[in-house]
Amino acid sequence: MKKQYVVLAVALVIGLVLGFALLSKGDAKALNVNDIGADPAAFTGTITVTGIMAGVSQYDKSVIGIMDIKELQCQSPNCNKIYIPIKVTGALPSVGDEIRATGKFEKNAQGYLFAAEKIKVVQNHKIGG
């Protein structure tokens, strides 16, 4: 009887580890801002983008701009900051929040806008005070 419990416990641990690995694999597919910023039209269908919330549009308060995570480390004035505009439905993330946005690019008069269907805040990086 005892052995059965041990086997059950081991199976549970293995299951949890595998589950975590599979979930992590899903997260790893998120695209960085610098990967897509140069040619957003090349990305079709629903994708997940990860980046840092950098600010809110002055013209549309439901549009935020996100920059690449790497830009947090670059301190020179020459930083290559590309911002991707994201249309958010619901609560806006805070400046400095590392987010994962799932949605698709939509073309408009100004260029491309990422219409987010889902936004997940991963952590806050405390930028901009």
Site for another protein, rule CB under 8 A: 21, 24-25, 28, 31-32, 34-39, 41-45, 47, 50, 69-70, 73-80, 82
Bridge partners, residue 50, by sequence: 32, 100
Beta strand pairing call for 63-67 and 31-32: unpaired
* Shortest Å distance, C-beta 83 to another protein: 13
* Shortest Å distance, C-beta 46 to another protein: 10
In whole angstroms, what is the distance from residue 7 CA to residue 14 CA? 10
Our CB check for another protein shows the closer of 58 and 75 to be 75
Judge whether 63 and 92 are in contact, CB under 8 Å: no
Our CB check for another protein shows the closer of 9 and 62 to be 9
- Token pair 């439901």: residue: 62
* Shortest Å distance, C-beta 90 to another protein: 25
* Shortest Å distance, C-beta 123 to another protein: 12
Our CB check for another protein shows the closer of 70 and 87 to be 70
- Token pair 């975590």: residue: 20
- Token pair 């936004």: residue: 119
